[in-house]
Amino acid sequence: MALNIPGLVSLSVFFTFTLATGIWASWKSKKDQQNRNPTEMALVGGRNINVCIGLFTATATWVGGAYINGTAEIVYLPSKGLLWVQAPLGFALSLVIGGFFFVNPMRSKNYVTVMDPLQETYGNVMGSLLFIPPLLGEMFWFAAILASLGATMRVILDIGGSLAIILSASTVILYTLLGGLYSVAYTDVIQLVFITFSLWVCIPFAMVNSATESIYYTATHEYYQDPWIGKIEKQYLGRWLDDFFYLVLGSIPWQTYFQRVLSAASPGQARFISYLSGLGCFLMAIPSVLIGAVAASTDWNKTSYGLPSPYERGESAMVLPFVLHYLCPAYVSIAGLGAIAAAAMSSADSALLSASSMFAHNIYRKILRKQATEGEVLWAMRISMLVFGAGAAGLAFYSSSVYDLWFLSGELVYALLFPQLCCALFIPSTNTYGSAAGFLVGLLLRLLAGEPALKIPPVIHYPGCTLMNGTYTQLFPYKTFTMLLTLGTIIAVSYLAVVLFQRNLLPRRWDVCNVLGETHTLVPLRWVDKWTGTQTAALQENRD
């Protein structure tokens, strides 16, 4: 296949336009920065993002390249199908629950990042440990997005996936570095509009292609493969529920989400943005579902792709670009490529800004250099953007499955961070001892459960653990079980620690985390013996 020159030119125009929008937003943020904290402008837009922009950026954050590619892939897979596409409903419910329960507690104390309540409740040392799961999550998320974009460009433009990854990462890093949240939010508007328009333009051409059977018929009838509607067999119900709760609850404790709601002008606007973006996220999955259904209804032997099918070749992760390239006219497939590029960049910039924001605000300012000026914090944020962006781009070269990487990116956040955030916001009596114990228990249980995507065999075989094609698969809802056990450990150990110290079952001088709210210091005490007149010195414990 020859290099697609028109497609390359169109994509270059789109990248240039996106970069120009980001630079303009950066200029606008500097203009609005008068009498405002520059760090707060970069991290949460000065808490002045209007509802319309906030809605677009909150929706675009979740509707990324992994989202639209992964949704089409799951619908297409004969072993999965539509009933296994949980992300649209899961993300929608996540945004609704987040708006209902989490927005007010976060806004009432003017937090800047999701790590703020954790550091406030459990201290900086524990906060630095809890920073690791979301950092890894954001980097895996960024890598998954870049990988999906690279695979798409390789199919449609016939250029190296590595070149696409480097160009995309460089563009995202540049405009995010220049304008912070303002640049991310305004480019998200352009990108979300482009995603919606481009994918819907491609769908009619793909559905009427002569190689494609009616998706209404193939939804319930076996034709080229099993019906794309899919089914949930009884033995897989636990795994289905586990994945669903993971998406619903595990999508809440992300800085990408809170960065949007914390940037709104008021708590009411923040809740409204959260609710409505949930609906937008759900609706944006429809084009990908239709494209996945078309792929499942296509006789690939009638296309230039030929046989065997993408599933038989192990290329199911790229069915969306395959449909655009082999079932649509060239000029239409270019529009679809633009949609995927827009989706990739809309989530990549959010992940990059999220990771660098937490590092600059929660690690550099609060731990490494507590006397840092606003300028120092901004430079720490920019340097960390370069480091995290380069790391994620490097990881993208080694990703083999978009959907596996997408799921893997949030498992530690679900198992470790969600229980910690719930306790910090809603159970203020929990303390650092409980937090540390919960972290260790959750991390240990998750690692011992194994990870097929990384070829890590399970040490703990939960009920229903079966050997499939040489790989052990956990059918028990172990992710949710781990999360609940982490939550229970935090509460139980916190209560136990307080009881032990209050009842003097453990010496209070061992309370290194000061959970009783007392500071124990030794102060000099002097007195004069009334018989001899001798002055005596001693040390007395003083509690303030």
Question: Cβ(431)–Cβ(494) under 8 Å?
Answer: yes
**Whether 259 and 330 share a structural domain:** yes
**Average pLDDT of the chain to the nearest whole number:** 85
Percent of the chain scoring above 90 in pLDDT? 49
- The SS3 call for residue 222 is coil
Average pLDDT rounded to a whole number, residues 487-496: 97
Looking at the structure, do residues 370 and 290 belong to the same domain, yes or no? yes
The better pLDDT of the pair 242, 348 is held by: 242
Query: Which range in 123-132, 365-374, 455-464, 481-490 is most confidently predicted, on average pLDDT?
Result: 481-490
* Beta-strand pair 520-528/535-543: antiparallel
Q: With 80 as the cut, is the pLDDT of residue 218 above it? A: yes
Cβ count within 10 A of residue 312: 11
Per the structure, how many domains does the chain have?
A: 2
Domain boundary among the residues 371, 406, 441 is at: 406
Q: Is residue 105 in some structural domain?
A: yes
452-457 CB contacts, 8 Å cutoff, 24+ apart: 453/401, 453/404, 453/405, 453/407, 453/408, 454/408
Confidence band of 405 (pLDDT split at 50, 70, 90): low
Kindly state the percentage of the chain with pLDDT values over 70: 91
**Residue that wins the pLDDT comparison between 336 and 507:** 507
Q: What per-residue string of b and e applies to 368-387 under the rule 16 or more CB within 10 Å gives b?
A: eeeebeeeebbebbbebbee
The helix (run of H) or strand (run of E) holding residue 208 is: none
Same domain flag for 391 and 489: no
What average pLDDT score do residues 358-386 get? 91
Q: Tens digits of per-residue pLDDT, 104-126?
A: 999 988 899 999 999 999 999 89
Give the residue with greater pLDDT, 438 vs 20.
Answer: 438
Q: What is the CATH number of the domain that holds 222?
A: 1.20.1730.10
Instruction: Determine, yes or no, domain membership for 322.
Output: yes
Mean pLDDT of 445-466: 86
Residue 166 — very low, low, confident or very high, per pLDDT cuts 50/70/90? confident
SS3 466: strand
Q: What share of the chain is helix, strand, coil (3-state, %, to 5)?
A: 70, 5, 25
Confidence of residue 513 (pLDDT cuts 50, 70, 90): confident
Query: Which pLDDT band, with edges at 50, 70 and 90, does 215 fall under?
Result: very high
Give residue-wise pLDDT tens across range 15-54: 788 888 888 888 877 776 666 777 888 888 888 888 999 9
Q: What is the DSSP letter of 455?
A: T
Same structural domain for residues 341 and 387? yes
Compare 17 and 538 and report the one with higher pLDDT.
Answer: 17
Q: Give the residue, 159 or 475, on which the prediction is more confident.
A: 475
Is 536 within a domain?
A: no
Residue 148 pLDDT > 80: no
- Tell me the residue range of the domain where 212 lies: 12-30+44-406
pLDDT band at residue 230, thresholds of 50, 70 and 90? very high
Residues 238 and 282 in one domain: yes
Instruction: Among 406, 436, 452, give the residue marking a domain's end.
Output: 406
Domain finish residue from 352, 373, 406: 406
Mean pLDDT along residues 137-163: 76
> Which DSSP symbol is given to 540?
E
Cα–Cα distances in angstroms (integers) from residue 364 to residues 350, 358, 372, 391, in the given order: 20, 9, 8, 19
Report CA torsion sign: 443, 444, 445, 451.
Answer: positive
Task: With respect to residue 164, please indicate whether it lies within any of the assigned structural domains.
Answer: yes
**Taking residues 302-319, what's their average pLDDT?**
91
Tokens 């950066």 locate to 26
Q: Is the pLDDT assigned to residue 535 strictly greater than 80?
A: no
User: Which residue is associated with the tokens 């586990």?
Assistant: 242
Domain presence at residue 365: yes
- Alpha carbons 155 and 340: distance in angstroms, whole number: 12
Do residues 338 and 466 both lie within one domain? no
- Residue 444: inside a domain, yes or no? yes
Cα 252 to Cα 167: distance, rounded to the nearest angstrom: 30
Q: Given this model, what pLDDT does residue 81 score?
A: 95
Examine residue 531 and state whether it is found in any structural domain, yes or no: no
The 10s digit of each residue's pLDDT in 257-268 is 999 999 998 999
State whether 384 and 292 are in the same domain.
yes
Whether residues 451 and 359 share a domain: the answer is no
Query: pTM of the predicted model, to two decimals?
Result: 0.88
**For residues 47 and 40, is the Cβ–Cβ distance under 8 A?**
yes
pLDDT over 60 (residue 530) = no
